[in-house]
Amino acid sequence: MSASSADTLRRVVIVGASAAGLTAAETLRRSGHTGTITLIGDEPAAPYDRPPLSKEILNGAWGPDRLPLRTEADLDALGLDTRYGRTAASLDRVARTVLLSDGTEVPYDGLIVATGVRPRRLPGAPAHTLRTLDDALALKGRLGPGRSLAVVGAGFLGAEAAAVAADLGTRVTLLEPASVPLAHAIGEDIGRVLAQAHLDHGVALRTGTGVTEVVSGGVRLDDGSVAEADTVLVAIGSRPNTEWLTGSGLTLDDGLVCDEFCAAAPGVYGAGDVARWHNPLFGTSMRVEHRTNAAEQGMAAARNLLGARQPFAPVPYFWSDQYDMKIRAYGYLRGHDEVRVVEGSLTDRKFLAVYRTGERLSGVLAIGMPPKSIRPWQRSIAAGAPWGGALSALAPSAEATA
């Protein structure tokens, strides 16, 4: 960090005590920032990990004590001005202040927005969502033998929760409006593999089925019938937490719109689930709701706030655990033109598939394969490898049949 940066950034405010917000704070300190760092979070707890909520917390393998991202000593060493249990109400970019829900105004010289997302909901009776520790603990208490659960939405979150519930002996109905789970993201053939796994574990999977509202004792479907269940989990996606930025002059479009440096405006940066930024590696705008991206983008936003001016061009990574399946993927799979299995078998649920968008390799997904099998493909995606060249180098037999 230059001397001029130190002089102009005496006060940095990070809105969002999330994985992105925490790594931003750590990066600021590691980069030499000695001024005030205010970390604002809407939950009363220090930053904690969210992916285990739909896995280890829900199935009881972990207790809440394993969720904190850092120890108290680690957080104390950062010297943060923490404002937990408060939300940001508005932003005044002229005065350079963030107004909190308790009426406090927090001044800043540099601002990082890491406010994340919140679950979408359905009209009607109250239903469970799964975003916070309290959400996970409340849902966990409703699972087990003799209980029934309707999960609305077969995306990764809904599918993971359905898998855990079924393994705990819950009678599960999984409802999805698409023809197969995650067809828009991973392709229909692989979506059918995931669908069959649910069926094999006793889940009543109903695809091509929309839900209009939550009712007492279940959910009402778009044909007017009711799918009965003791408990309902709504997992139909999320909304970026950007309402507090309305009127600030920042561009909002399904997230806080940022450039390739994660900058939304001079002195204002976005990171994590809330940020929609231009990824120059793929030449497109994207908003990624995965844990790895949140941490990496928090670091990138902090460095660029301090003047690094380095484009944030990652190969997105996500993983999912469903039953005995470990799913790993790299790249930008949405909007792909082709998906091809180059190793293993869909029938065996042990395979590696690659994705083409235009004329380039854009993604790779593996189920039941060792991590080392996917890494060469990840490196090729990061290098912007053309489709044919990647197949020829890494899967010559598959290239020969192209």
User: Do residues 9 and 114 both lie within one domain?
Assistant: yes
Tally of structural domains, the chain: 3
Alpha-helical (H) ranges within 68-211 are 72-78, 133-140, 156-167, 183-186, 188-200
- 33: in domain: yes
Q: What is the pLDDT of residue 350?
A: 96
Q: What is the pLDDT of residue 3?
A: 42
- CATH code where residue 19 lies: 3.50.50.60
Q: What is the pLDDT of residues 60-90, one digit of tens each?
A: 999 999 999 999 999 999 999 999 999 999 9
User: Do residues 286 and 152 both lie within one domain?
Assistant: no
Q: What is the pLDDT of residue 2?
A: 44
User: Do residues 129 and 273 both lie within one domain?
Assistant: no
Question: Could you tell me the two tokens for 160?
Answer: 């993971």
User: Do residues 283 and 351 both lie within one domain?
Assistant: no
User: Do residues 352 and 287 both lie within one domain?
Assistant: no
List the domain range (segments joined by +) for residue 77: 3-118+238-305
Task: State the DSSP code for 68.
Answer: B
Instruction: Give residue 399's pLDDT band: very low, low, confident or very high (50, 70, 90).
Output: low
- 311: in domain: no
Phi then psi dihedrals of residue 13, to 5 deg: -110, 130
Instruction: Indicate if the pLDDT at residue 198 is higher than 80.
Output: yes
- 315: in domain: no
Domain stop point among 194, 218, 234: 234
User: Do residues 146 and 221 both lie within one domain?
Assistant: yes
Domain stop point among 234, 260, 277: 234
- 63: in domain: yes
- 74: in domain: yes
Instruction: Indicate if the pLDDT at residue 385 is higher than 70.
Output: yes
Contact status, residue 244 vs residue 89, Cβ threshold 8 Å = yes
- CATH code where residue 387 lies: 3.30.390.30
User: Do residues 244 and 113 both lie within one domain?
Assistant: yes
- 317: in domain: no
d(CA 273, CA 80): 22
Instruction: Give residue 396's pLDDT band: very low, low, confident or very high (50, 70, 90).
Output: confident
Domain stop point among 192, 215, 234: 234
Burial 88-111 (b: 16+ CB within 10 A, else e): bebbebeebbbbbeeeeebebbbb
User: Do residues 89 and 153 both lie within one domain?
Assistant: no
Q: How crowded is residue 136: how many other Cβ atoms within 10 Å of its Cβ? A: 23
